[in-house]
Structure 1
């Protein structure tokens, strides 16, 4: 038995170890649109389970080494396939056969040493193909890409093994628009290799040595943009370029990226560029210039060119402080209209150079070292005579007033960008060029705007500052950019009558109204998202009642979120809803007040109809009676009877009854309210005290009695004694017959007493009345 248990335990342990040792199976996540993401999942092969619903498949950054015959068999609707950064070294001939709808294929950074046309023969819909970073040495088969008639973008080559380009490598690509070739180690170039690319718009060549420059340029009949990257031009020599006069070399834009240039290679490079017709834009980006700037192009007669736009970004000059003033290239710059020199440590443009820039209309000196002192010399008299746009973004300017004064010589200046400088403050007045139409002061830390801003502006950008308000009168302003400040409300429309565009996002605005928007009569674009909106009923009603609001609010509705009330926090203003009780509080209060008033009137009416006030008084009287002692001490009894009667029956009581009882033998002492109530004392207290100080309570009943409220009080007080003390303290005298149905409902106790107690009736007519008085005296004595 023990051995069997040990065996079972050992088997269980082995199974557990085996289960723990199994590798984790990667998973592929797909959404409802058929986009499958399998990036960085450690796949070793194309995952199974792919269906016809898969439209996009990303398997980048895995360990796939082989694409087989049936791996993609079901992906008949696949349009995007990304296999970059895997270990693919083999692809089956018909691996892509089911992918007739494929448009985008990326096989870059794999281990493909040979390229085969059989891969592409079924990919007639392919428009993008990336084969960069694979270790093949040549394109391989002639007309490799001919099965791809609709290909528009192609990227081929690598920086280490790719050594040869030959004629026919790019044949059969009539619609190719963009071609990138990484051929840093190119050793053989067959003339005509790029000659078949007739409709090419953009060409990117990664060439380290300019050995085959002349051959390459000779093949390029017409290219819209040519970019040469990672090129060492330090020892470049131009040996001549044969140009077909009927098909001259045409390149509109030429870019040198991450290139190295020297004083010695400058003139040969100009010779090459002079053979390019229609060259209008020249760019140097992340380049290095080794030398001192001793260029002498005029000696070669190289002053003719058509370049209108010159862009220099992040150029590094090794001997910067020994560099010359570039007088030798002044003549080359006279026709240039647009110059951009960014992030290149420029602190001064010599006045003589500025005067030679006669055609310059656009100058961008962003991210340099310009200060007011040197700007004054750069913008000297007759310098930059045609300049219309000047960009001095992110330099070292400190004073708006001095900057404006330095630019007064620029009579044609209309657009000025001095953003991201550290001005912080603004003077009350400034002098600007007369034609100023656009001013950018964004990100300059200013906290207040003054009349220093020129009133002639059409465009003003003061975004990303510390402004709390905007109160300038700018009658011609059409565009105002004031995002990223601390404004709490929209500007006053009366001071901006011509405003067309207002961007005021990321401020402290919490609401805006229909009246505010309507006050901007010409406003076409409003961007006010990113504020802390209080979703009041007025704002919600306004935004929800105007579906056409999205035509003005360009960032509506996703950027408009509720900040309060708390239960709406984070919701879009468009989707927020508030209850009727929140939105119509005044109407609700008025309705409640009206309802209460009607209820009060109804209550008063009901009380009047059902004698409610009388019952309230009786309740109070009852409480008062309960507060009194139930039985007064014998020494406090002052009267034989308290007489309760109606004022209408006073003659009978005061003339007949009083004479008969108080003058009899023995005499009875009666308590009458007219005679015995204490003056100034509350009448209810007088009634209660008089009843308690009397041995009997005598009620003189008549129709007048039942109509009297005070008689009812007196009846109830005596009723308390009658039932609380269980004695015969009440005597009823009927002056006239009373029908029980004629007695009001509130005299229910009187009805009950008349049904349970014996009462005396006053004889009517000439009937003898001595018996009545005798019976009354007997009742009082009992």
Structure 2
């Protein structure tokens, strides 16, 4: 490689001289073989015929932006560089040109006179007469007030581009463009001039005539001229006799959304003056159009491209596009459309692309588009679509863009874009991966974008055909971790044999399920960045993978085995633990060129290694690791684990077999240490401590299981006064009154629910009355004991019991003798316990004691 030559004050490299920002006041000498010279941003004030030596090879010269008050270009200033092709004097705000300044520049093709404070004399005078090869003239940002080119422009047969943007041209009339006639311009830019200040009277335009007659344009730019509807109508009439392919009218004042109703929307007569001109493209973007009136474009029969973006369009009147039989591209993006209904696009028989992005569309009837046989692209991004009002097939649709809407997983796409190859559903509210499987059912999709959704659920169904065409799948910014945690949709990629690019970044992934990438035999690019992955199993990635992004994860000590074959790897911004466990990775990193972001691989732990680059670490001290020490540690861990597991098993078996004894020991120790809490009822506010409600058929069971264990009259060791029907009900008294008196005279009501209890109407009534008292006093005064294996559906037949079971704790009668003492202790505690009931009951779990048998017969 040839080193640049540094000659004061410029640098020359490959025959190009770089002299900008050197504070030069004169032009230095240059070698004869120089091709390009950059002298911009210096302090040169004058260029004369002696400023340049003879430089026959020089083709490009830039003397723009001199930091002086003026730049004078004298006569024959460029006589020694006659082969010059590109000349820039741009940015010299006070450029003073001699009429003979450009004499001899017969080969100049591009002349840049941007921001030179020039007036119309540059075009009307003799300054440019020798530039017979001129193709492009840039007069951007000068002070030209009229456009009347000199006759020598006829000799410039290659002259096709004239930029007059940001000048002061107010009108073009009559024979102003006489010497442009017969020319074929690629571009004439009158952008941001004063054409909008032309008179709008019919008399003026009749006198003005047709200045553009016999002047042909690929593009005529009249943007930013303040043209309203009337001026556009009159100006386009003056274009009669010319040939124009593209007309740019953007950034004008046309449309009734401008000002206070001082302007009108284009009407059916606005573009009548273009009826004889085969306009192919019309740009009306960035205007103030509110409504597309009927037949507004009827005169533009040859129009192929119509730009209406960034207006205020809220209405599309019937037959607004009538006459546009050849239109192929329609851009209505960034407007105020609220809905799309049939006949909005009537007449667009040849349309291939419709852009409706960034409107306010909430409702859309797809039958609007199903009669467009050539429609290939429909862009509905950035709207408020929740669903399709009427679903219809769009036969030729290839690109269906629905991103940034409000679609949820119920959206029907199967019948809309059956032949589409590109579907964009990003930035919506999709939560079910079923939408992906539905789109893949036809096997024709090549690009599917589902990023920035809420995909976190999957039914597990898959109808993806084996020969599908998908090559790009974007699932960025979803919650696939929840899907794979449930063990669902682990097969999602198995049939995607042609997939080349897969984006799974920002999915909260903590690990990668085994075989998740099975079947991706063509995958070359995989993005897993911005997740929480801590471990990479060996063989998890397909061997075809070339680019893998694992940056911004939680890889602490990654093994190089999983990624060693990948050519382009990104592993930056992970939390690396810099100890000997990272030895293999560091050795691989030092010998591999695949990691593209090595500068971002830094230590996160230990503290004295924080932010130390991994590339600066060595593995000294890790090679001679003490194998004996490792074996000792392994032995200790093995023995300790074995002993711990054995103790746990012995403890579990012992407790299961002797849990009754364990409870008695616990109770005895508790009483000795803290003192016996006793089971005395204390101050009696009620006649009875408990009323036991049961079926008479269960008397023998209740007597053995409850009365003998609780009632003080059955045993002196019992401390509770218990009420039950056979002993305490008053003979001759109304039975319902006896029940009511027993409930209200008792601190708690105990209902022993058996199969016989459910058959006894008085028992059910007693249960209901006890529950009513509970609601009145807002206290837990009802204790339910379920005896026997009674199905839930039988309990729920009775409304009071159903309500209690669903909202309250209840006890189960134990089936094992060793659980009896615990059960009676628990029952005694519930009788003594004073607990306020919540006014709004919360559903709680049943208190289920160990299910074991009693020595008493259970009904």
Matched, 1:81 2:60: no
Does the 8 Å CA contact 2:325/2:350 hold for their aligned counterparts?
A: yes
Residue 218 of structure 1 deviates from its aligned partner by: 3.1
Q: Match for residue 137 of structure 2?
A: 154
Q: Match for residue 117 of structure 2?
A: 134
SS in 1 for 2:518: helix
Q: Match for residue 470 of structure 2?
A: 458
Matched, 1:93 2:86: no
SS in 2 for 1:162: coil
Does the 8 Å CA contact 1:193/1:219 hold for their aligned counterparts?
A: no
Residue 280 of structure 1 deviates from its aligned partner by: 3.6
Does the 8 Å CA contact 1:137/1:161 hold for their aligned counterparts?
A: yes
Does the 8 Å CA contact 2:307/2:331 hold for their aligned counterparts?
A: yes
Does the 8 Å CA contact 2:84/2:105 hold for their aligned counterparts?
A: no
Which of 423, 437, 441 is matched with 2:429 structurally? Answer: 423
Which of 210, 216, 225 is matched with 1:221 structurally? Answer: 216
Q: Match for residue 299 of structure 2?
A: 302
Residue 258 of structure 1 deviates from its aligned partner by: 0.9
Give, in whole Å, the separation in 1 of the partners of 2:612 and 2:285. 44
Matched, 1:391 2:392: no
Residue 543 of structure 1 deviates from its aligned partner by: 8.1
Q: In terms of mean alpha carbon deviation, does 465-474 or 253-262 score higher?
A: 465-474
Give, in whole Å, the separation in 2 of the partners of 1:55 and 1:157. 23
Which of 333, 347, 352 is matched with 2:338 structurally? Answer: 347
Does the 8 Å CA contact 1:483/1:504 hold for their aligned counterparts?
A: yes
The count of residues paired between Structure 1 and Structure 2 equals 524
Structure with max Cα Rg: 1
Residue 67 of structure 1 deviates from its aligned partner by: 2.6
Does the 8 Å CA contact 1:390/1:413 hold for their aligned counterparts?
A: no
Which of 445, 448, 452 is matched with 1:439 structurally? Answer: 448
Evaluate the alpha carbon distance shift between residue 256 and residue 497 of structure 1 in structure 2; reply closer, same or farther with a 3 A threshold: farther
Give, in whole Å, the separation in 2 of the partners of 1:423 and 1:171. 63
Does the 8 Å CA contact 1:105/1:130 hold for their aligned counterparts?
A: yes
Which of 189, 198, 202 is matched with 1:204 structurally? Answer: 189
What do the CA deviations read for 1:3-36 (whole angstroms, capped 9, x no partner)? xxxxxxxxxxxxxxxxxxxxxxxxx996675534
What do the CA deviations read for 1:369-390 (whole angstroms, capped 9, x no partner)? 233xx13x25558365543333
Residue 105 of structure 1 deviates from its aligned partner by: 0.8
Q: Match for residue 250 of structure 2?
A: 257
Evaluate the alpha carbon distance shift between residue 112 and residue 501 of structure 1 in structure 2; reply closer, same or farther with a 3 A threshold: same
Aligned ranges 1:224-373 → 2 under 5 Å: 225-231=219-225, 232-235=227-230, 236-237=233-234, 238-239=236-237, 243=241, 249=243, 251=245, 253-262=246-255, 266-277=267-278, 279-289=279-289, 292-297=291-296, 302=299, 304-307=301-304, 309-316=305-312, 320=314, 324-354=315-345, 356-371=347-362
Q: Match for residue 728 of structure 1?
A: none
Residue 169 of structure 1 deviates from its aligned partner by: 6.0
Q: Match for residue 164 of structure 1?
A: 147
Residue 73 of structure 1 deviates from its aligned partner by: 4.2
SS in 1 for 2:213: helix
Residue 158 of structure 1 deviates from its aligned partner by: 4.6
Aligned ranges 1:755-766 → 2 under 5 Å: none
Give, in whole Å, the separation in 2 of the partners of 1:484 and 1:178. 48
Q: Match for residue 162 of structure 2?
A: 179
Q: Match for residue 638 of structure 1?
A: none
Evaluate the alpha carbon distance shift between residue 417 and residue 36 of structure 1 in structure 2; reply closer, same or farther with a 3 A threshold: farther
Give, in whole Å, the separation in 2 of the partners of 1:418 and 1:441. 5
Does the 8 Å CA contact 1:385/1:410 hold for their aligned counterparts?
A: no
Matched, 1:485 2:506: yes
Evaluate the alpha carbon distance shift between residue 520 and residue 97 of structure 1 in structure 2; reply closer, same or farther with a 3 A threshold: same
Give, in whole Å, the separation in 2 of the partners of 1:526 and 1:389. 36
Residue 170 of structure 1 deviates from its aligned partner by: 3.8
SS in 2 for 1:315: coil
Q: TM-score, normalised by structure 1?
A: 0.54
Matched, 1:191 2:177: yes
SS in 1 for 2:332: strand
Residue 82 of structure 1 deviates from its aligned partner by: 2.5
Evaluate the alpha carbon distance shift between residue 98 and residue 264 of structure 1 in structure 2; reply closer, same or farther with a 3 A threshold: same
What do the CA deviations read for 1:57-90 (whole angstroms, capped 9, x no partner)? 4645x8x693343895479667433327864363
Evaluate the alpha carbon distance shift between residue 454 and residue 54 of structure 1 in structure 2; reply closer, same or farther with a 3 A threshold: farther
Evaluate the alpha carbon distance shift between residue 406 and residue 281 of structure 1 in structure 2; reply closer, same or farther with a 3 A threshold: farther
Q: Match for residue 521 of structure 2?
A: 497
Does the 8 Å CA contact 1:241/1:275 hold for their aligned counterparts?
A: no
Q: Structure 2 regions of 5+ residues with no counterpart?
A: 1-7, 199-204, 256-263, 386-404, 485-489, 549-565, 630-859
Does the 8 Å CA contact 1:365/1:393 hold for their aligned counterparts?
A: yes
Q: In terms of mean alpha carbon deviation, does 532-541 or 186-195 score higher?
A: 532-541
Give, in whole Å, the separation in 1 of the partners of 2:160 and 2:51. 29
Give, in whole Å, the separation in 2 of the partners of 1:274 and 1:570. 72
What do the CA deviations read for 1:306-358 (whole angstroms, capped 9, x no partner)? 41x333221135xx5xxx43213232345433322222223322222256544
Residue 152 of structure 1 deviates from its aligned partner by: 4.5
SS in 1 for 2:323: helix
Give, in whole Å, the separation in 2 of the partners of 1:55 and 1:510. 56
Matched, 1:405 2:398: no
Does the 8 Å CA contact 2:87/2:110 hold for their aligned counterparts?
A: yes
SS in 2 for 1:179: strand
Q: Match for residue 564 of structure 1?
A: 602
Does the 8 Å CA contact 2:120/2:145 hold for their aligned counterparts?
A: yes
Give, in whole Å, the separation in 1 of the partners of 2:500 and 2:171. 56
SS in 2 for 1:328: coil
Evaluate the alpha carbon distance shift between residue 167 and residue 79 of structure 1 in structure 2; reply closer, same or farther with a 3 A threshold: closer
Does the 8 Å CA contact 2:526/2:545 hold for their aligned counterparts?
A: no
Give, in whole Å, the separation in 2 of the partners of 1:417 and 1:187. 47
Evaluate the alpha carbon distance shift between residue 325 and residue 508 of structure 1 in structure 2; reply closer, same or farther with a 3 A threshold: same
Matched, 1:69 2:48: yes
Residue 367 of structure 1 deviates from its aligned partner by: 2.2
Does the 8 Å CA contact 2:326/2:351 hold for their aligned counterparts?
A: yes
Q: Structure 1 regions of 5+ residues with no counterpart?
A: 1-27, 550-555, 594-782
Give, in whole Å, the separation in 2 of the partners of 1:477 and 1:332. 44
Q: Match for residue 742 of structure 1?
A: none
Aligned ranges 1:606-645 → 2 under 5 Å: none
SS in 2 for 1:139: helix
Does the 8 Å CA contact 2:251/2:286 hold for their aligned counterparts?
A: yes
The structure with the largest helix share of the pair is 1
Matched, 1:103 2:86: yes
Give, in whole Å, the separation in 2 of the partners of 1:459 and 1:233. 49
